[in-house]
């Protein structure tokens, strides 16, 4: 079963939703890709980011991560709250 | 509601009205136009007569608004029902990216005001009850002579008074009190007036700003067109959710970066989660911050700028970002409904995850629309208002209320409860 998590910043603001399925990386704050543009994808997760001011930091953490679980661990180390979503494998 | 256009890079100086310059016309006259538009939209909601709305809007220089398929009752939305309500298919007459572009079609099945508001029973000789009392009262107010006893019994005297009233009102003097007679007696006019009052009160508590930053008047006008379409068509419940909020749409000049603007300079040098430099991104939805909902769109996505074609369909980016912002108008129950809608949709029609290839069940780009409930809602709203992601024929066909009603009836019905 797909594992899904919601990531919150200090102020309990939702900043990321992430699952362990390879797939697209989406910035909800930015406009959709231009027509015909392929998605930015990732080999071990798919995610949607919700806060423009933390997206860059989250991306940096992702780039340093070696696996899905490593990404979650690094997020927690950085002070984010990572919560498994109901009815998912988390 | 107040609605303003600012030509300034320093919104933080507000609320000093003296520091602001209105681009198009006076604040007062714009407000008047807006309220007039709202009145027409409300008339449309009551009347279901989009064609009338279109005609009424033209002299005001305003665009036709929501493609409300009035006959499709919210919540009942089977695909077949909704499709019937939309017949014939929507016709999009989108002018190319210019001010006053994006005029979308009107559903053909129109109801008259009395049909929509028609809660009054058909009365005739020997009818009785509360409605007859109301009829007698209204006939008395209209000058029935002799005055009728308000006893709730439709007898010969009431019949005679009805026949006389119909005759002097230009109606068929058949003594049957149906929609037209009720309308003539002012029943629906009063109902509409009350609804207008509630909406006006709610609208008065919302501020909608368009910030030009030096962008062309045409681009600002195009942005405002979409804003008017979407914010002003909100249901009263949604308007009340926005109580006290200021909604800002910033137009990013084609020759400036978004992060050149004061409101977005904090993003300078930062990247999006998918790896784009914010400086190069041509739009944003900042969500709600305190009492402010802020978003931005590139000028080139609103009007044609030589050498800077955005590639998007007319009005799409504005509609999409406004669609995100509109989430703030949802009640807790509606938010729960949206989450379930998306969850069910994904379960029934798994979106393509890693491909630029589109899927017939999801608005293009499919992988994007299917990525999360926010994009699902924002793109669906763009479709509801006929603002396609691109100008490709298939995409234009899909970004219509007709496609939504047929292919995603639950979302269509949901949007009908919002707008």
Residue-wise pLDDT tens digits, B326-383: 999 999 999 999 999 999 999 999 888 656 567 889 999 999 999 999 999 999 999 9
As given in the structure block, the two tokens for residue B266 are: 């904090």
Identify any residues that bridge with B294 across adjacent strands, giving them in sequence order: B248
- pLDDT band (50, 70, 90) for residue B119: low
Please classify residue A21 by burial: count the beta carbons closer than 10 Å to its beta carbon, then call 0-12 exposed, 13-18 middle and 19+ buried: middle
Closest CA in chain A for residue B353: A23
Please classify residue A46 by burial: count the beta carbons closer than 10 Å to its beta carbon, then call 0-12 exposed, 13-18 middle and 19+ buried: buried
Q: What is the pLDDT of residue B168?
A: 84
Q: What is the pLDDT of residue B193?
A: 77
| CA-based nearest residue to B45, from B237, B205, B221 | B237
A38 touches chain B (CB under 8 A): yes
Q: Tell me the pLDDT of chain B averaged across its residues.
A: 76
Asked if residue B214 lies in contact with residue B252, where contact means CB atoms within 8 angstroms, the answer is no
What does the alpha-carbon distance between residue B323 and residue A28 come to, in Å, rounded to a whole number?
A: 12
As a whole-number percent, the residues of chain A with pLDDT over 90 amount to 82
What does the alpha-carbon distance between residue A41 and residue B240 come to, in Å, rounded to a whole number?
A: 39
Q: What is the pLDDT of residue B85?
A: 29
Q: Could you read off the pLDDT of B106-116 as tens digits, one per residue?
A: 333 334 443 44
* A41 contact residues in B (CB cutoff 8 A): 354
Q: What is the pLDDT of residue B59?
A: 29
Query: What average pLDDT does the segment B36-46 reach?
Result: 40
- On the question of pLDDT at A36 being above 80, the answer is yes
Contact A24 B367 (CB under 8 A): yes
As a whole-number percent, the residues of chain B with pLDDT over 90 amount to 55
Query: Which of B281, B356, B364 is the closest to A30 by Cβ?
Result: B281
* A53 contact residues in B (CB cutoff 8 A): 266-267, 270
Asked if residue B60 lies in contact with residue B36, where contact means CB atoms within 8 angstroms, the answer is yes
Query: Which of B354, B379, B389 is the closest to A41 by Cβ?
Result: B354
Q: What is the pLDDT of residue B408?
A: 96
| CA-based nearest residue to B299, from B213, B390, B385 | B213
Q: What is the pLDDT of residue B189?
A: 65
Size of interface A-B (CB pairs under 8 A): 128
Contact A29 B287 (CB under 8 A): yes
Helices (H), A17-67: 52-63
CA B287 remoteness from chain centre: 20
B214 touches chain A (CB under 8 A): no
Q: What is the pLDDT of residue B188?
A: 67
* B267 contact residues in A (CB cutoff 8 A): 52-53
Please classify residue B357 by burial: count the beta carbons closer than 10 Å to its beta carbon, then call 0-12 exposed, 13-18 middle and 19+ buried: exposed
Distance from CA of A86 to the nearest CA of B (A): 12
Q: Could you read off the pLDDT of B204-220 as tens digits, one per residue?
A: 999 999 999 999 999 99
Contact B272 A28 (CB under 8 A): no
A17 touches chain B (CB under 8 A): yes
Contact A28 B375 (CB under 8 A): yes
As given in the structure block, the two tokens for residue B31 are: 């407000």
A37 touches chain B (CB under 8 A): yes
Of the spans B92-106, B130-144, B179-193, B367-381, which averages the highest pLDDT?
Answer: B367-381
Query: What average pLDDT does the segment A15-32 reach?
Result: 95
* A46 contact residues in B (CB cutoff 8 A): 353, 371
Mutating which of B259, B264, B274, B277 best tests the A interface, going by the most A Cβ atoms within 10 A? B274
A44 touches chain B (CB under 8 A): no
Helices (H), B204-331: 217-231, 236-241, 316-325
Going by the DSSP 8-state scheme, the letter that residue A25 receives in this structure is E
B278 touches chain A (CB under 8 A): yes
Query: Which of B275, B353, B371 is the closest to A59 by Cβ?
Result: B275
- On the question of pLDDT at B51 being above 60, the answer is no
* A39 contact residues in B (CB cutoff 8 A): 274, 354-356, 365, 367-368
The dihedrals phi and psi of A4, each to the nearest 5 degrees, come to -125, 140
Q: What is the pLDDT of residue A81?
A: 97
| Global confidence as pTM | 0.69
* A16 contact residues in B (CB cutoff 8 A): 273
What ipTM was estimated for this complex? 0.96
What does the alpha-carbon distance between residue B125 and residue B127 come to, in Å, rounded to a whole number?
A: 6
B16 touches chain A (CB under 8 A): no
CA B88 remoteness from chain centre: 20
Lowest mean pLDDT among A5-9, B53-57, B402-406: B53-57
Lowest mean pLDDT among B5-14, B91-100, B113-122, B257-266: B91-100
Q: What is the pLDDT of residue B29?
A: 28
Q: What is the pLDDT of residue B160?
A: 94
Q: What is the pLDDT of residue A70?
A: 98
Query: What average pLDDT does the segment A26-51 reach?
Result: 94
Asked if residue B159 lies in contact with residue B202, where contact means CB atoms within 8 angstroms, the answer is no
- pLDDT band (50, 70, 90) for residue B183: confident
- pLDDT band (50, 70, 90) for residue B7: low
> Per the omega criterion (within 30 degrees of 0), is the bond before B54 cis?
no
């Amino acid at each position: 079963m797909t594992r899904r998590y919601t990531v919150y910043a200090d102020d309990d603001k939702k900043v990321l939703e992430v699952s362990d399925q390879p797939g697209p990386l989406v910035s909800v704050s930015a406009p959709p890709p231009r027509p015909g543009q392929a998605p930015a994808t990732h080999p071990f997760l798919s995610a949607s980011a919700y806060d423009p001011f933390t997206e860059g930091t989250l991306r940096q953490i992702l780039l340093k991560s070696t696996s899905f679980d490593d990404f979650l661990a690094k997020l927690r180390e950085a002070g984010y709250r990572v919560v498994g979503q109901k009815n998912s494998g988390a | 509601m107040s609605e303003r256009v600012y030509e300034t890079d320093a919104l933080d100086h507000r609320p000093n009205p003296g520091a602001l310059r209105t681009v198009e016309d006076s604040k007062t006259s714009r407000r008047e136009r807006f309220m007039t538009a709202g009145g027409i939209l409300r008339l449309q909601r009551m009347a279901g007569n989009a064609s009338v709305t279109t005609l009424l809007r033209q002299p005001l220089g305003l665009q036709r608004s929501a493609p409300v398929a009035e006959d499709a009752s919210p919540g009942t939305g089977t695909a077949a029902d909704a499709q019937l309500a939309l017949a014939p298919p929507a016709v999009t007459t989108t002018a190319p990216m210019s001010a006053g572009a994006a005029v979308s079609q009107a559903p053909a099945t129109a109801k008259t005001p009395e049909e929509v508001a028609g809660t009054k029973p058909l009365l005739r000789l020997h009818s009785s009850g509360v409605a007859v009392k109301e009829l007698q009262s209204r006939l008395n107010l209209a000058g029935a002579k002799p005055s009728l006893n308000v006893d709730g019994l439709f007898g010969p005297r009431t019949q005679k008074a009805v026949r006389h009233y119909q005759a002097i009102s230009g109606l068929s003097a058949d003594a049957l009190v149906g929609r037209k007679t009720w309308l003539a007696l002012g029943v629906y006019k009063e109902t509409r007036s009350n609804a207008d009052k509630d909406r006006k009160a709610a609208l008065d508590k919302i501020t909608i700003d368009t910030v030009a930053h030096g962008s062309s008047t045409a681009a600002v006008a195009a942005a405002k067109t979409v804003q008017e379409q979407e914010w002003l068509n909100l249901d009263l419940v949604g308007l009340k959710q926005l109580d006290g909020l200021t909604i800002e749409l910033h137009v990013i000049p084609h020759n400036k970066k978004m992060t050149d603007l004061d409101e977005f300079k904090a993003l300078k040098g930062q990247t999006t989660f998918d790896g784009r430099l914010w400086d190069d991104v041509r739009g944003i939805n900042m969500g709600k911050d305190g009492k402010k909902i802020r978003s931005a769109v590139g000028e080139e996505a609103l009007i044609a700028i030589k050498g800077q074609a955005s590639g998007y369909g007319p009005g799409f980016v504005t509609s999409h970002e406004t669609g995100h912002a509109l989430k703030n108008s949802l009640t807790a129950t509606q938010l729960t409904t949206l989450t379930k809608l998306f969850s069910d949709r994904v379960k029934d029609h798994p979106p393509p995850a890693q491909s630029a290839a589109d899927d017939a069940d999801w608005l293009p780009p499919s992988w994007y629309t299917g990525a999360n409930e926010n994009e699902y809602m924002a793109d669906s709203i763009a479709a509801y208002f006929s603002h396609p992601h691109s100008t490709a024929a298939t995409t234009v066909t899909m970004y219509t209320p007709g496609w939504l009603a047929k292919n995603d009836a639950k979302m269509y019905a949901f949007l009908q409860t919002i707008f």
